[in-house]
Amino acid sequence: MIYEQEVNGYKVKVFKPIRLIPYYDITAKEISDLLKSGAITLLEEINPDCKIGVEIEGKKRGIVKLPIHYTGIKNKRRKEVLKKCQDFRFVRKVVGRGQLTKQQLIAFQTKHRAKYPMTPEEEEYELDETIKYLQDKEVLLLALYDKASLICLSFNIRVSPYRVYACFNEWDERYKQGVGNYCWYRMIEWLEELGIKEYDLGPLDEDYKKKFINATEPTLGVALIDEKHPLVKQLNLSNINQI
């Protein structure tokens, strides 16, 4: 989502990441159009495979490199979680490219939407952009059941042949303790079976992710601005003005 804000007295266009999309795939045409417009534009969360952008200091993504071999405390923790949840049943499903509907996406993320309140216009925009993003991508769902009751749902996006993004988890509050971790362990097993090489857990903004990752990746950004503009110095943008 693009919004305009005032920074130190200057109007700046900022690309606000959409919650359900892991990173922004900016095209050469979009860059050209922004440069021609003369707008000062700040972008974060650029696709790590993109040819532009540099590391943003202090921001990392957590990655599980696969296959993974658990040892020490991580292996002990994994065994404890698997034993605790051994009576639960899990179901795995791949939703084909372009098959997910807006109504399904809304139904899947009840708690996740409540955690990030938006205006109706913002929510509609996010849903439309997410569905558009998923037109050429598979969704991997892992559902966890206690008898007939759905107690946890892991929603994941296959963003490339070798990488899957952990988009969000939904869970029954009565089972919150441990079931999210259990779903991630089962997801990792499934991804290894599929030959996936990387499980992207997103920004390292929550400590629980550190229990799973075995690698990190920089968050990339770029500033489209004249290098002589006062904001370059004021915001320390000289390091990310790469075009």
Q: What is the pLDDT of residue 114?
A: 67
Over residues 51-98, the pLDDT tens digits come to: 777 788 888 999 999 999 888 988 999 999 999 899 999 999 999 998
Structure tokens at 83: 């034993």
Alpha carbons 139 and 156: distance in angstroms, whole number: 6
Total domains in the fold of the chain = 2
Torsion of CA 83, 86, 87, 88, to 10 degrees: 130
Helices and strands (DSSP H and E) totals, the chain: 7, 10
Over residues 215-231, the pLDDT tens digits come to: 999 888 877 777 777 87
Q: Residues 226, 173: one domain?
A: no
* DSSP label of 140: E
Report the predicted TM-score, pTM, of the whole model to 2 decimal places: 0.84
Structure tokens at 191: 């991804």
Count CB-CB contacts under 10 A for residue 179: 22
Q: Residues 159, 231: one domain?
A: no
Q: Does residue 119 form part of some domain?
A: no
Q: Does residue 106 form part of some domain?
A: no
- Find the domain containing 26 and state its range: 2-59+218-240
Alpha carbons 133 and 100: distance in angstroms, whole number: 11
